[in-house]
Structure 1
Amino acid sequence: MKSSLLWKRVWRHKLFYLFMLPGIVWFFIFSYVPLYGLQVAFRDFTFVGGFTGSPWAGLKYFHQFFDYYQSSAIIRNTIIISLMKLLIGFPMPIILAILLNEVRHVKFKKTIQTLSYLPYFVSWIVVVTLLQRLLSMYGGPVNDLISSMGGEPVQFMNNTTWFYQLIIGSDIWKNIGWNSIIYMAAIAGIDQQLYEAAKIDGASRFRQIWHVTLPGIRNIAVILFILATGSLMSAGFEQLLLLSGPATANIGSVLDVHVITSGIQQGRLSYAAAVGLFQSGIALILIVTVNWIARKVSDVSLF
């Protein structure tokens, strides 16, 4: 009986499920089928033996990672950089969306939106190259400006003093516009009568933002925050690979770079799979934990 009602409901909304089908197929092919390869982390993988023919190794490669003298530093760096990106970067799209919502000049608003979206479509290679040109000690416009004001040129790149600022600043600049889109959509869905009621009660623009806009996007923000916690063990491979150097290796070595270096450059596929599985397992635990806390505190959760 229940199954027949379910299929009737599916048939009634068949167009919506049809639109969902490409996404479901994509996730199945690229997210679920590759799970079969997780067994590589527990085998001495060889291309001749393949997934099932390679000898079983158990937890050998997990032990190798935790016995590695830099493993604690790599985990620490990953958590520090990811936390900074989350705590500093997460509120920025919300702030941008609220500010853009307050702009009444349509052309100016659209111009700012376009300019803030564009960096998202620029690859990290271009972004890092741009930073190198701007911040170079030899002919870089930033250091030229500092010198013209009587200051000494500053070594921004490959400098532990400026490393975190460059990582967080470039990440915010690249993603703030794109991440603000969903908040702009949420703000657009707020009932305008709530703003009218707030105006009648004498609320200022700041009070309207505090009592109408922020509560209106609270659920969306909580859901996105839960999803963002899953990336705490993933600081960003391409950005860290390009911005890190020998001088910043002690604070810039992260799990993403370590996995790719071990698996692709050194050919230690089983070891890289074990580290990647550890990384994914911690991310899953974080999402489940934060989701449980959010459900208890705000009644908003993913599941």
Structure 2
Amino acid sequence: MKDSLLGKRIWRHKLFYLFMLPGIVWFFLFSYVPLYGIQVAFRDFNFMGGFTGSPWAGMKYFQQFFDYYQSGTIIRNTIIISLMKLLIGFPMPIILAILLNEVHNRKFKKVVQTLSYLPYFVSWIVVITLMQRLLTPYGGPVNDMITTVFGTSPIQFMNNTSWFYQVVLGSDIWKNIGWNSIIYMAAISGIDQQLYEAAKIDGAGRFRQMWHVTLPGIRNIAVILLILATGSLMNAGYEQLLLLNGPATTAIGSVLDVHVITAGISEGRLSYAAAVGLFQSLIALILVVTVNQLARKYSDVSLF
């Protein structure tokens, strides 16, 4: 009986499932089929033997990573940078979406939206190059303004341990804030306007309307995205850190993503890189499941 009802519901909404099909196929091909390669982390992989012909190595490469003298530093740096992006970067798109919702000038609103979306489509190579030109102490506009207005010496922003985290966090927010705010803008547009009218009748100003109507209206979406974001706590963003990190900032800028890419591609240690990558994925899975359970317990919103 249940199977027949499920079949009828699927057939009734067949167009929606058809739209979902490309995404399902993409996830199957690029997220589930590659799981077959997990065994590389437990083998002494070589190209002659392939996935099935290479000899088993057990937990050798996991032990090798944890015995590495910099493994603790790399894990600590990854967690610190990811936590900063989560705690500071995650609320920024929500704030931007709420502020844009309060703008009544449509032309100004569209200009701000467009300008905030554009950096997302620019590669990190271009972003880092632009930052180097802007922040350089040798004629860069930012340092020229600092020396002119404050009369201080130029500041070395790039490859400086004192400014490294600020540069990483600032560039990440600038690049992603506009794009990430789209889903919150969509959620806000779906809030019943009668709730705002009722709040006005009760004497609520703009701030109280935001606090009591807008924020509760996007709460469920925010919780779901927060659950998903916790899964990237061990993923600090390899491309950004690969380009920003230098010899002077290695102590605080070496992260798991860059370590995996360096070991797997530059050094050809595929089994070792797969083991470290699997370690990242297992931690991400544990975090997502844990936060999902907490969200279900305290907010009645969850992924599963």
**One fold, TM greater than 0.5?**
yes
Cα distance, 1:146 vs. partner?
Answer: 2.0
- Aligned partner of 1:142 in structure 2 is 142
1:294 equivalent to 2:262? Answer no
Superposition map of 1:35-46 within 5 A: 35-46=35-46
> How far is the alpha carbon of 1:138 from its aligned partner?
1.0
Does 2:89 correspond to 1:89? yes
Q: Deviations over 1:106-144 (max 9, x none)?
A: 100010000000000000000000000001111111112
Equivalences for residues 25-64 of structure 1 within 5 A: 25-64=25-64
- Superposition deviation, residue 43 in structure 1: 0.1
Shift in Å, 1:13: 1.6
Unaligned runs of 5+ in 2: none
- Give CA-to-partner distance per residue, 1:80-123, whole Å, 9 cap, x none: 00000000000000000000000000100010000000000000
Q: How many angstroms does 1:17 deviate by?
A: 1.1
Compute the displacement of 1:5 (Å): 2.7
Q: Could you list the runs of 5+ residues in structure 1 that have no partner in the other structure?
A: none
3-state SS of paired residue (2:55): coil
**Secondary structure of the corresponding residue to residue 250 of structure 2:** helix
1:62 CA drift (Å): 0.1
CA distance in 2, matches of 1:254, 1:14: 44
Partner residue in 2 for 1:202:
203
Give, in whole Å, the separation in 1 of the partners of 2:95 and 2:12.
40
Deviation of residue 216 (structure 1)?
A: 0.4
Partner amino acid for 1:118? Answer: L
Q: Residue type of the partner of 2:44? A: D
Counterpart-to-counterpart distance in 2, 1:77 and 1:278: 16
Paired residue for 2:284? Answer: 283
1:129-278 mapped onto 2 (5 Å cutoff): 129-149=129-149, 150-278=151-279
Letter in 1 for 2:89: G
Tell me the matched-pair count. Answer: 303
Distance 2:212 2:145 in 1: 43
Q: Percent identity?
A: 84
1:108 equivalent in alignment to 2:108? yes
Aligned counterparts of 2:209 and 2:144: Cα–Cα separation in 1: 44
Runs of 4+ with >6 A deviation:
none
- AA aligned opposite 1:173: W
- The Cα of 1:229 is off from its aligned counterpart by 0.2
Output the TM-score relative to the length of structure 2: 0.99
d(CA) in 2 for partners of 1:9 and 1:113? 38
Q: How far does residue 145 in structure 1 lie from its aligned partner after superposition?
A: 1.7
SS in structure 2 of the partner of residue 44 of structure 1: coil
In structure 2, how many angstroms separate the alpha carbons of the residues matched to 1:197 and 1:13?
35
Q: Find the aligned partners of 1:298 and 1:108 in 2 and give their Cα distance.
A: 36
Match of 2:69 in 1: 69
1:301 partner SS: coil
Q: CA deviation at 1:19?
A: 0.9
Displacement of 1:3:
2.4
How far residue 151 of structure 1 moved from its aligned partner, in angstroms, is: 1.0
Can you list the C-alpha shifts for 1:208-266, whole angstroms capped at 9, x where unaligned?
00100000000000000000000000000000000000000000000000000000000
Residues in 1 aligned to 2:235 and 2:5: alpha-carbon distance in whole angstroms:
42
**RMSD (CA atoms):** 0.7
Partner Cα distance (1:151, 1:254) in 2? 33
Shift of 1:11: 1.7
TM-score after normalising by structure 1:
0.99
Secondary structure of 1:56's aligned partner:
coil
